[in-house]
Each structure stands twice: as C-alpha cells, then as structure tokens.
Amino acid sequence: MKYTLNAQAMTAPFFVPSSVADKHIKLASANQLKVLLVFLKNVSVGTSPEQISEVLRLPVSEVCDALDFWVEREIILAEGKPSAQTDTEKAKPQNIKPVVIKPSREEIAAAAMTDNKIPFLIGEAEMKFGRGLRDSEIRSLCWLYLDHGMEISLILMLVEYAISENKATVSFIENTALAWLGAGVTTISEAEKQIEERNKRKTAWGVVLAAFGMSYRMPSDKELEYSGTWVIQWGFKSEMLREAYNICVDKNAKISMAYINKILEKWHKSGFTTVQQVKDAEKPKENSNGFATYDKSLVEQLLNQDD
C-alpha cells in the first residue's frame, strides 16, 4: 500500500526540525514526541509545562522531563539564563544539569560478552513487558546497571513496579531509580519501603482530591509530596483541607497547591486542627474596655486599599 499526505489536512502546518526524525526519534519516547509536537505547534505564542500537561493529560513532572530531553539535544533552549555574568557570578558553582551519556548498543553488546547478567536483565525485562524492549529501554536499563551499579534484582523490581503503576516509561524508571539511589536504597526491602511510602502519599492524594471535590487524576511528584505532608505528616482532616481550598479559590479564583500549602503550613505552626479554631483566631478580640481590637497591619492594609 502506498501512503501520501492529505493536502486538505495541511490547514495549519508548523515547523519540525529535521534532526528530530534523523537523529532523535529512535531514542525519544512517545510522550517526549507528543510534548515536542505540542511545544512546536504553539512556539509562536508560547506555552508552559502546565498548559502542555493539560493538553496531553500528563503530570507536569513528566512534561518537564520531556522538555529537558529536548533541551539536552539542543532542539529546545531553556530560557531564564543570564546572557552575561559578573566575575562574582562566574566564581559561584553553577547548577548545570549534566548531559547523560548512556551506553550504545555496541557497548552493551561488548559488555554482554563478558557479563551474563546483561542478557539476563534484558530477557527478564522483556518477559515483564510482554514484548521486545525498545532501544531506549535497553540503553536505560543497562545504564542503571553499568554506570550506577544498580543490582539487577532491584532494576527488575523497578520495572515491575513501573508496569503496575501504568508508568512503564524510560523517564519514570530512570527518575525513580535515581531517587532510590539518592536515598541510599540498595536492597529489595529498602525499595519496598520506598514504594510503601509512595503508596501512602497516593492514598493521601485521594483524601485531598475528595476534600477539594475533584475527580481523580494522576498527581505530579510535587502534588504527592504536598499530600503526604498535609495528611500524613501534619494530620489535617478533610474539613481543614476543604477550608484551605475555599480560601485559595476565593482569593485567587483558581487552585494553587503552593498557596494552599502556605495556608496549611501556617495553621500547622499555629496548632490549628479544626475550622472553628481558624475562625476563632480571625475574630476581633476585645480589650479591657470592651472595645474590639484588630491587627494593626490588617487595619493599615484596609486603609491603604484603593476605593
């Protein structure tokens, strides 16, 4: 069968660098390609990770990872970096993300000649995926083993976990693996504890969504962190979460997890555990003469407001 482009579909074409197809398409995951296409489609008007997240229904963290993938390959430029630096700034250590160089197919094949753990890793991973591994997946798993010294059993456990979470992507596997290694995880039991903690945060995320009256969606890593802090660490119940949500929406006309976190952090430091305690703290107090007293800074804010 011969395929040709439908000219009628070319209503609003946009530019895609040829190097994407020539050099990077074999290494890029499906989500990385989707993120790039949405980015390129809106390059003239500009777009943010949050907007791309809404279009593709992906966690913001995965969108950022995908954008970083294209930044590393010099398809996208990361903005916000100063064009010139002073001598003092040059002397400071710069937080530059290193370019990750993974072993090539040839290097993996050569290593497998003397290390039978490599073909075992690939074979077991293929059984868990239920298909042959893509080039990017083979290079990623072997990179964790060869460059980071991660145990084969731990890598395979991670693959199984990623599949169970419906996140069997190179990005998720690598990010989770590096998080485990950064936390000093080297054994199956330690990894199980990490998974248990993540599952607890996922349960906390469900509590947060229910309190906010929102339908379920996959959380970002930051949202999981917030949920764990609010529900598990600080012990806030649904009524307090809902009150913080209402205050946020009334103030900003939209939801902001960071803003809600500031509210709940303030309440936690003040020892508030009920909505009534919050409301009581907001009531004006009477002085010894029976007159209501108000916070001076609040009064000044009210007086300085424009009519």
Q: Which of 23-27, 75-79, 254-258, 260-264 has the highest mean pLDDT?
A: 260-264
pLDDT category of residue 5 using cuts at 50, 70 and 90 = confident
pLDDT category of residue 283 using cuts at 50, 70 and 90 = confident
Residue 239 near residue 275 (C-beta atoms within 8 A): yes
Sign for the pseudo-dihedral over CA of 251, 252, 258, 260: positive
Q: How far is CA 35 from the centre of its chain?
A: 14
More confident site: 134 or 8: 134
More confident site: 263 or 44: 263
What is the pLDDT at residue 212? 93
Cβ count within 10 A of residue 103: 19
What is the pLDDT at residue 289? 54
pLDDT category of residue 287 using cuts at 50, 70 and 90 = low
Q: How far is CA 68 from the centre of its chain?
A: 12
Interval 161-209: pLDDT, tens: 999 988 889 988 998 999 899 889 989 999 999 899 988 998 999 999 9
Instruction: Please give the model's pTM, rounded to 2 decimal places.
Output: 0.52
Long-range Cβ contacts of 233-239 (<8 Å, 24+ apart): 234/264, 234/268, 235/273, 236/264, 236/267, 236/268, 236/273, 237/273, 238/207, 238/210, 238/211, 239/211, 239/274, 239/275
More confident site: 35 or 13: 35
Residue 30 near residue 59 (C-beta atoms within 8 A): no
Helix count and strand count (H, E) for the chain: 16, 2
* DSSP string for 267-290: HHHHT--SHHHHHHHHSPEE-TTS
Which has the closest alpha carbon to 101: 149, 146, 62, 61? 146
More confident site: 240 or 280: 240
Over residues 272-297, mean pLDDT: 68
Please give the Cα distance from 263 to 268 (Å, whole number): 9
pLDDT category of residue 302 using cuts at 50, 70 and 90 = very low
For strands 285-286 and 292-293, give the pairing.
antiparallel
Strand partners, 285: 293
Q: How far is CA 98 from the centre of its chain?
A: 19
Residue 35 near residue 67 (C-beta atoms within 8 A): yes
pLDDT category of residue 300 using cuts at 50, 70 and 90 = very low
Cβ count within 10 A of residue 236: 24
Interval 96-151: pLDDT, tens: 445 568 888 899 999 999 999 999 999 999 999 999 988 889 999 999 999 999 99
Distance (Å) of CA 99 to CA 8, 68, 253? 41, 10, 40
More confident site: 249 or 289: 249
What is the pLDDT at residue 151? 94
Please give the Cα distance from 160 to 42 (Å, whole number): 36
What is the pLDDT at residue 280? 86
pLDDT category of residue 246 using cuts at 50, 70 and 90 = very high
- pLDDT over 80 (residue 1): no
What is the pLDDT at residue 80? 55
Strand partners, 286: 292
Residue 75 near residue 36 (C-beta atoms within 8 A): yes
Over residues 54-67, mean pLDDT: 86
